[in-house]
Chains A and B, each alone.
Chain A
Amino acid sequence: MFGQILFFFVAAVAIAAGIGLVISRNPVSSALWLVLNLFCIAILYITLNAQFLGVIQILVYAGAIMVLFLFVIMLLNLSELPHLKAVNWKVGAIFVLAMAVLAQLVYMIAKGLDVLPEPTTAEASAETGSAYLIGQELFTRYALPLEVIGILLLVATIGAVMLAKRRFV
């Protein structure tokens, strides 16, 4: 009972935050709506027994990526620029397209779930989210992607610094 109420509430806030992100006039407001959405998704991760990912989501996504977005918005001083209206004559077509995509996704969910394997017991799924098991998988079976991600982050950092410099040297 409590689980369903929590899920409904968090899902409603997440959807409202998503809509707020898309229709907000001020880019700072959009960023703050996205932070609220990320918090809701972190709560959903914790209800799905993914405790490590819930904390990582708040630390990395809401704590680093969104701070970067807000830095750039403040740096470019965007609130002083004139408000950009949406591309008006396309709104209807885009809405229809988005509803078509949503219908396809809901159809997939409704039709395709009987091919899933049997859901596991609560104890097994409760364990998979712990930092111990994630770390165990990351450093043994997925050690190569982990190192590649490290190199990717290094390259992205160098690229970002070079791109944002005043003289491209």
Chain B
Amino acid sequence: MEVTIVWYLSLSAVLFVIGVMGVLLRRNVIVVLMSVELMLNAVNLTLVAFSQSMGDAAGQILVFFVISVAAAEAAVGLAIVIALFRKKMTVDITQFNLFKH
């Protein structure tokens, strides 16, 4: 019973679903951002698994770009969190409701 690609894909699916639950369940906006990073890592694992199985480097190149975009998104997202915290003194997502009528 050797380690086939199916194992990596299943692990990636489980990690992705854990990330989804983190995004939906937590009220702390920084933990929500970290759960998004977990989802991105699950997708990266899928890409690398397929890249190894097909012998094509394109999957790993895409992972390279996804990591760069995740870094940019984390930086800007955390800057927004800092700006919001300065205004509201909280990181509770239920308090960020300026659009609410």
A interface residue numbers (CB < 8 A to B): 3-4, 7, 11, 14-15, 18-19, 21-22, 24, 27, 30-31, 34, 37-38, 41, 44-45, 47-50, 52-53, 56-57, 60-61, 64-65, 68-69, 72-73, 75-76, 78, 81, 84-87, 90-91, 94-95, 97-99, 101-102, 105-106, 109, 113, 116-117, 119-121, 124-125, 128-129, 133-134, 137-138, 142, 145, 149, 152-153, 155-157, 159-164, 166
Q: Is the CB of B28 within 8 A of A84?
A: yes
Q: Is the CB of B51 within 8 A of A65?
A: no
Query: Of B33, B48, B74, B76, which is within 8 A of A48 by CB?
Result: B48
In the bound complex, residues from chain B placing their C-beta under 8 Å from that of A113 are: 5-6
CA distance A159 to B9 in the complex (A): 35
A7 shortest CB reach to chain B, Å: 5
In the assembled complex, 14 residue pairs joining A and B whose CB atoms fall closer than 8 Å, in A order, are A22-B26, A37-B15, A44-B8, A48-B52, A50-B60, A53-B64, A61-B37, A61-B70, A69-B34, A87-B25, A94-B24, A98-B20, A153-B71, A164-B83
CA distance A112 to B95 in the complex (A): 43
CA distance A84 to B96 in the complex (A): 14
Query: Of B8, B17, B70, which is within 8 A of A98 by CB?
Result: B17
In the bound complex, residues from chain B placing their C-beta under 8 Å from that of A50 are: 48, 51-52, 60, 63
Chain B interface size band reads 35 or more
Closest to B94 in A: A87
Query: Of A81, A119, A129, A134, which is within 8 A of B90 by CB?
Result: A81
A158 shortest CB reach to chain B, Å: 10
Query: Of A4, A22, A106, which is within 8 A of B18 by CB?
Result: A22
Chain B 1-29 interface 0/1 with A at a Cβ cutoff of 8 Å (1 = within): 11101111111011111111110111110
Closest 7 CB pairs of A and B: A120-B55, A156-B72, A105-B13, A163-B79, A22-B22, A84-B27, A18-B18
Q: Is the CB of A86 within 8 A of B83?
A: no
In the bound complex, residues from chain A placing their C-beta under 8 Å from that of B94 are: 87
Q: Is the CB of B75 within 8 A of A45?
A: no
Q: Is the CB of B3 within 8 A of A41?
A: no
CA distance A23 to B73 in the complex (A): 23
Among B1, B16, B31, the most chain A Cβ lie within 10 Å of the Cβ of: B31
